[in-house]
Amino acid sequence: MEQLQNLIGGELRGAVSGEWLDNIEPATGEVYSQIPRSNAADVNLAVAAAVKAFPQWSTLAFEERAACLRRWAAKVAEHAEALVHAESKDNGKPISLAKAVDIPRAQQNLEFFAGAIEHFASEAHIPADASHIHYTHRKPIGIVGCISPWNLPLYLFTWKIAPALAAGNCVIAKPSEITPFSAFMLSQWAEEAGIPKGVFNVIHGLGAEAGQAIVEHPQIKAISFTGGTSTGAHIARTTAPQFKKLSLELGGKNPAIVFADCDFDKALATTIRSSFANQGQICLCSSRILIEDSLYDRFKTALVEKVARMRVGDPAEQGTKMGAVVSRAHRDKILSNIDAAIKAGGEILCGGTVASPPNTRCNNGFFIQPTIIEGLGPSCEINQEEVFGPVITLQRFSNEKQAIELANDSQYGLAATIWTQDLSKAHRTAAAVDSGIAWINCWLVRDLRTPFGGVKSSGVGREGGFEALRFFTEPQNVCLPTQA
C-alpha cells in the first residue's frame, strides 16, 4: 500500500509519531493509501526549516520566484493525466470534471500568481509642495499557514500556496486529510521546480492535530483557511490572542433567483449545473432555488424531469457526470439532512436516497441521488444549514422585494445567481443581495484577478489577484523629505 509523505525542509518523510492514517477511495469504500499522522512535532520541524529558508527566499528577485512557480506549473501540465486520475480516485469526482476543471485550474493558479507578482507594484504619495515622498513597502509576512478543504483539493491548495510563495513567504501547508494525494504529488516536484528546501512544506494529518498545530504555532504569522464555518470560527478564536492575519473562505447557502422573464433554457441548464456539479460539493453551488410564482410550475416540472434522469456512476468512467460524495461520514450527514427535511414536511420531488452505480466495483461506495425538495419555508433547517451535497430546495416568490428577502434570509453570503433578461432588475438585485459574488445569467465564470470571498458567516477577507498578494504581505509606509 502506498504511503504518502510529508515534505519538510526539502525531505519527504513520515510523521515523527510513526503513525499512519488510512486514505479511502469514495467510489469503492476501500483503503488504498496511507498518510502520515502528523502533529505539533512535525509542524515544529517544518517551521524550523522555514525559518532557515526565509532570508534567502524573501530577498530573491521576484522574477526568480515567478520562474519557480512557472516550472512547477509545467510539472502539473506534464503530469496532468496522472493528477486527473489521482484527484478523481481520492475525491470521488468524475474524471471528466477533474480533467476540465480541477487540474487545469491548479496549473493556472501557479502561472497566474507568477505573472501577478511581476505586476504587483507598490504606491507612492507626494504632497502638493513635493516636500516629502511617502512610499509603501510591501514585505512578505514570514511563515504562513495554508489550510485547504477536500472538495477541490489541488485547485484550492494551489490557490493559496501560489500567492503566498510569490510574495516571498515560506509556507506550511495542510491539505485535507480526506484528499491528500494531489498535494503529495505536487510536493514531489517542488525541488525540480527550483523551490529551495524549507520554503514549501506540506504536513499531512488530521485537522484537529496537524491543522491545529499550524494554527497555534507562534512563528506562523498568517493563516489562509478554506473550509467549514464552524472550523473557521474555531481558528478565529485560536488565532485572535496572537493577532495573526487571517483569511477565511467558509461555507455558503447560495440562492439562485429565477425571475419569470429569464431565458428559460439557459436558466434551467445552468441551474442544474450550479446545483449538482461535483455532487453539489462546491462552496459556490446553488442550494436554494428561488422561483417567481408565475414560472414556478413550469420551471419545477422541467427541472425535476431532467434531474431525475441524471445517472450517478463510477467516477473513473469517462462518461460519468455525477460521481461519489467524499466520504461515508459525509454521505450519512447528507442523508440525515434529507431525513430532517422530510420530517419538517418537505416533499421529495426526486432522489432522496443513496444511489447504486451499475459498476460492481462501486457496491460499497458513497453515492447519493441528486435530490430536489419543495414545500419548506426559509427558516427550515435545510434552507438555513449548509448540506454541501447534491440536494437543493425550491421556494416561490411573488416579487423582486420578496426574492431579495428570501435570498438574504441566511447567515451565509458567499455567492448568488440571478436569472432575468431585465438588466436594470439584474443590477438592482445583485446590489441588494448579501453576497461576495453575484453571477447574472451565468455561473462559475471566474477571472483570477477579481476579489473572491464571502460576507456574513461565509468568511473574512478576499482571495484572488492583488487581494491575495496584499493578504500575504505587510505594508510599511516609508516617508522621507525631498530636501536636506
Please select the residue that binds ligand NDP; options are 200, 299, 388, 472, rule is CB under 6 A: 388
Compute the Cα dihedral for 25, 29, 33, 34 and give only its sign.
positive
Q: Does 443 bind ligand NDP (CB under 6 A)?
A: no
- State the cell numbers at 424: 436594470
Beta pairing partners, 21: 35
Please select the residue that binds ligand NDP; options are 151, 327, 410, 417, rule is CB under 6 A: 151
Q: Does 249 bind ligand NDP (CB under 6 A)?
A: yes
Q: Does 211 bind ligand NDP (CB under 6 A)?
A: yes
What contacts 276, CB < 8 A, 6 or more positions away? Answer: 285, 307, 310, 322, 370, 390, 392
Of 146, 170, 262, 283, which residue is the catalytic one?
Answer: 283
- Using the minimum distance from each CB to ligand NDP, give the nearer residue, 231 or 371: 231
Beta pairing partners, 270: none
Of 209, 249, 374, 463, which residue is the catalytic one?
Answer: 249
- Using the minimum distance from each CB to ligand NDP, give the nearer residue, 22 or 305: 22
Please select the residue that binds ligand NDP; options are 36, 168, 207, 280, rule is CB under 6 A: 207
- Using the minimum distance from each CB to ligand NDP, give the nearer residue, 235 or 312: 235
Q: Does 147 bind ligand NDP (CB under 6 A)?
A: yes
> What's the closest the beta carbon of residue 209 comes to ligand NDP, in angstroms?
9
> What's the closest the beta carbon of residue 10 comes to ligand NDP, in angstroms?
23
DSSP β-ladder status, 30-36 and 245-249 = unpaired
In angstroms, what CA-CA distances link 19 with 12, 204, 360?
15, 11, 33
Contact 174, 148 (CB under 8 A): yes
Positions of E strands within 316-428: 347-350, 371-374, 391-397, 412-413, 415-419
Instruction: Quote the CA–CA distance of 150 and 414 in Å, as a whole number.
Output: 18
Please select the residue that binds ligand NDP; options are 85, 138, 234, 425, rule is CB under 6 A: 234
- State the cell numbers at 413: 453570503
Positions of E strands within 236-346: 245-249, 254-258, 286-292
Span near ligand NDP by CB under 6 A; candidates 53-61, 122-130, 144-152, 190-198: 144-152
- Using the minimum distance from each CB to ligand NDP, give the nearer residue, 76 or 250: 250
Q: Does 174 bind ligand NDP (CB under 6 A)?
A: yes
Span near ligand NDP by CB under 6 A; candidates 136-144, 190-198, 210-218, 357-365: 210-218
Contact 96, 321 (CB under 8 A): yes
Contact 9, 46 (CB under 8 A): yes
Q: Does 140 bind ligand NDP (CB under 6 A)?
A: no
> What's the closest the beta carbon of residue 439 comes to ligand NDP, in angstroms?
15
Please, which of residues 460-479 interact with ligand NDP by CB under 6 A?
none
Please, which of residues 280-299 interact with ligand NDP by CB under 6 A?
283
Span near ligand NDP by CB under 6 A; candidates 92-100, 223-231, 340-348, 373-381: 223-231
Burial of 478 (0-12, 13-18, 19+ CB in 10 A): exposed
Q: Does 206 bind ligand NDP (CB under 6 A)?
A: yes
Q: Does 414 bind ligand NDP (CB under 6 A)?
A: yes
Q: Does 150 bind ligand NDP (CB under 6 A)?
A: yes
Question: Which strand (E) or helix (H) includes residue 171?
Answer: strand 170-174
What contacts 138, CB < 8 A, 6 or more positions away? Answer: 120, 122, 167, 469, 470, 473, 474, 475, 476
Please, which of residues 324-363 interact with ligand NDP by CB under 6 A?
none
Contact 26, 327 (CB under 8 A): yes
Instruction: Quote the CA–CA distance of 444 and 229 in Å, as a whole number.
Output: 21
Span near ligand NDP by CB under 6 A; candidates 57-65, 74-82, 109-117, 248-256: 248-256
Q: Does 208 bind ligand NDP (CB under 6 A)?
A: yes
Amino acid at 380: C
In angstroms, what CA-CA distances link 1 with 23, 81, 205?
10, 21, 17
Task: Cell 477579481: give the residue.
Answer: 450
Question: Which strand (E) or helix (H) includes residue 477?
Answer: strand 473-481
Please select the residue that binds ligand NDP; options are 87, 102, 386, 467, rule is CB under 6 A: 386
Our answer to whether residue 283 is catalytic in this structure is yes
- State the cell numbers at 395: 421556494
Q: Does 177 bind ligand NDP (CB under 6 A)?
A: yes
* CA-based R_g, the chain, Å: 23
Site string for ligand NDP, 73-102 (x = CB under 6 A): ------------------------------
> What's the closest the beta carbon of residue 307 comes to ligand NDP, in angstroms?
21
Q: Does 413 bind ligand NDP (CB under 6 A)?
A: no
Catalytic residues, by residue number, are 249, 283
Q: Which residues bind ligand NDP (CB under 6 A)?
A: 147-151, 174, 176-178, 206-208, 211-212, 215, 226-228, 231, 234-235, 249-252, 283, 386, 388, 414, 454, 458-459
